[in-house]
Amino acid sequence: MLKRSIAVPCFLIAVLVACRPAPVVPQPHVPLAHYEIRADIDPASGFLEAAVELTLEAPAGEPRSLTFLLHREFEIRRVAGEGVAGHGFGPPPDRPSLYSPEAFHLRVDFETPPRAGDTLRIAFEYAGEITSWPEWSANVMTGEWVELGLYFPWFPHREEMGMFTYRLDIGCPENHEARAAVPVRNEGGRRIFDERRPSRDIVLVVSPHLKTRSFDLDGADIHIHAVSLTAETIEMMGDDLSAILGLFRSWFGDLESAALTVIQSPRVKGGGYARNNLVVLGGLQDRDYAGQREGYIRYLAHEAAHNWWWRAPVDTWEDWLNEGLAEFSALAVVRDMFGVEAFEKRLARKKEAAAGEGAIPGFDRADLSSPEARRTSEILLYSKAPVLLFELEDRLGVDGMREFCRLLVRDAISTTDGFLETLARYAGGAERERFEARLTSVD
């Protein structure tokens, strides 16, 4: 996942608007789906062969079929499972998926419509040479660099499915390394990745040029996978990320596991993006990081903050809780690390951008169909929302705002109503009314 009027490279501006093109986060009582994926990849030919076992909960409505997205160049060899009657694979009947334009629809038919809440287990086997992707795509497959994710997509995915966990068992040439959002484990020449945190994507990179540096800050794990960055730049980035996570833990409370993985992609096009606990930076060079350190720290801090701010649905206007609080946190890091003047400059630009914009409640977060719609989403989420949060901080005080944020984290607040109710308990009904009025105001 990208965005806004700040002095950072254009790929960072692009990355934050699209960093989470994902469905609504499941509510706590809904079991997460889980993927078991065994795949073999030959970068030189672009060939990928996969066997996937997916466990998920049947949606409401007793559907006779479920539709998944999968790259159109795959050949479907097998789809099976209890109650599965057959399958079909072909172009989408309407417009292509916004984020996966190369995807076909893989339809899985059932003998008897499953009831809501039933556990479904579906096995997929497919293979193919991936040779086609949009010029702008961050997912590519070349002999020197393979970068896979939902933009392809390389695994069968339902946009309505929500978050999931996964286990990858990856085979690739001996002189290549494979990396993902979690640490790799080598078993018999294969690369194993176990992701038990809720995820919205499965990002996998394979290359003969990867080098890895890991850092540990009292249980907060940082992994940097680079292609061309020098050891000095990697060390600098690791120190910065350690400082960022240390600040967040002191402000918002400890997490069971705070982690962040950064991957330097050698792609020239496609920009950067972010997923839960993962940032992929396209086009990054040593001189960029050293020369624009404040901008990169603000960007990395935004993504690291999603360790704390991630629970709200991401395809509705309530995403302001995720993105607004993450951007608020990132600017607070700028203030702490670079001083009040640097912070005020950035906040002033956000105030200027937000001037005259509409209300946050009710805007169509899922509408990215036009530049105007994307601009509205960008400004409300990344400018107006943090501006309102800093106004709240002015009234509560810095320490008071941090205490309030710790309550939001502790109580796993995922809705605006929950935010306002917590604010009322903490600061009183008048403060709730004041903040709610600002949310619905036209600046």
Taking only the tens place, the pLDDT of each residue in 244-300 is 999 999 999 998 777 889 999 999 888 888 887 898 988 888 999 999 999 999 989
Query: What CATH class is the domain 33-195?
Result: mainly beta
What is the per-residue pLDDT for 22? 36
Residue 202 half-sphere exposure toward CB, CA atoms < 13 A = 27
> What count of other Cβ atoms lies within 10 Å of the Cβ of residue 370?
9
- For residue 216, the surrounding DSSP H or E stretch is strand 211-217
Nearest to 279 by CA among 192, 356, 203: 203
pLDDT of residue 325 exceeding 50: yes
DSSP string, 151-193: TTT-S-B-TTS--EEEEEEEE--TT-EEE-SS--EEETTEEEE
- In this predicted structure, the answer to whether residue 187 has a pLDDT above a threshold of 50 is yes
> Closest Cα partner for 332 from 415, 255, 401?
401
Query: Where do we find the tokens 């997912």?
Result: 139
What average pLDDT does the segment 150-173 reach?
92
Tokens of 405: 């944020």
Q: Beta partners for 126?
A: 50, 76
Report pTM.
0.81
Model confidence at 11: pLDDT above 60: no
Q: Please, which residues have CB within 8 angstroms of residue 44's CB and are 6 or more apart in sequence?
A: 143, 173
Q: Report the pLDDT value the prediction gives residue 198, as an integer from 0 to 100.
A: 84
Residue 177: CB atoms within 10 A of its CB come to 18
Q: Does residue 239 surpass a pLDDT of 60?
A: yes
Per-residue pLDDT of 195-229, as tens digits, reads 998 888 999 999 999 999 998 877 678 999 999 99
pLDDT of residue 223: 94
Q: Which residues contact 399 (CB under 8 A, 6 or more apart)?
A: none
Q: What angle do CA 294, 298, 303 make, to 5 degrees?
A: 150
Q: What is the mean pLDDT of residues 306-335?
A: 93
Element (H, E) at 179: strand 177-179
Is pLDDT of 18 > 50?
Answer: no
Q: Where are the alpha helices (DSSP H) in 339-380?
A: 340-354, 371-379
| Domain chopping of the chain, boundaries | 33-195, 212-296, 317-439
User: Rounded mean pLDDT of the chain?
Assistant: 89
Tokens of 35: 């993927």
Among 20-29, 83-92, 259-268, 309-318, whose mean pLDDT is lowest?
A: 20-29
Mean pLDDT of 63-89: 97
User: Can you give the pLDDT at residue 368?
Assistant: 67
Mean pLDDT of 393-412: 98
pLDDT for the residue numbered 85: 97
- Helix orientation angle between 398-410 and 385-396, rounded to the nearest 10 degrees: 120
Architecture of domain 317-439: Orthogonal Bundle (1.10)
Q: Tell me how far apart the alpha carbons of residues 351 and 354 are, in angstroms, rounded to a whole number.
A: 5
Residue 26 has pLDDT above 70, yes or no: no
Most confident of 91-95, 110-114, 149-153: 110-114
Q: What are phi and psi of 244, to 5 degrees?
A: -60, -50
Query: Taking residues 23-40, what's their average pLDDT?
Result: 68
Confidence of residue 29 (pLDDT cuts 50, 70, 90): very low
Q: Quick check: bond before 43 cis, omega within 30? A: no
User: What does the pLDDT read at residue 95?
Assistant: 76
Question: According to the model, what pLDDT value does residue 229 have?
Answer: 94
**Worst-scoring range by mean pLDDT, 116-125, 134-143, 272-281, 372-381?**
272-281
Tell me which fold the domain 212-296 belongs to: Zincin-like (3.30.2010)
Share of the chain above pLDDT 90, in %: 72
The residue with greater pLDDT, 160 or 354, is: 354
pLDDT for 6 equals 30
pLDDT of 390 strictly over 80: yes
- For residue 30, the model assigns a pLDDT of 46
Using the Cα atoms of residue 226, residue 229, residue 235 and residue 239 in order, give the sign of their dihedral.
negative
- What residue type is 165 in one-letter code? T
pLDDT value of position 31: 65
In this structure, of 7-11, 84-88, 378-382, 401-405, the range with the lowest mean pLDDT score is 7-11
**Least confident among 153-162, 247-256, 273-282, 390-399:** 273-282
Question: Comparing C-alpha atoms, which of 42, 120, 50, 37 is closest to residue 78?
Answer: 50
Q: Beta strand pairing status for 220-226 and 259-265?
A: parallel
CA distance linking residue 250 with residue 87, whole number of Å: 51
Count of alpha carbons within 13 Å of 164, Cβ hemisphere only?
Answer: 25
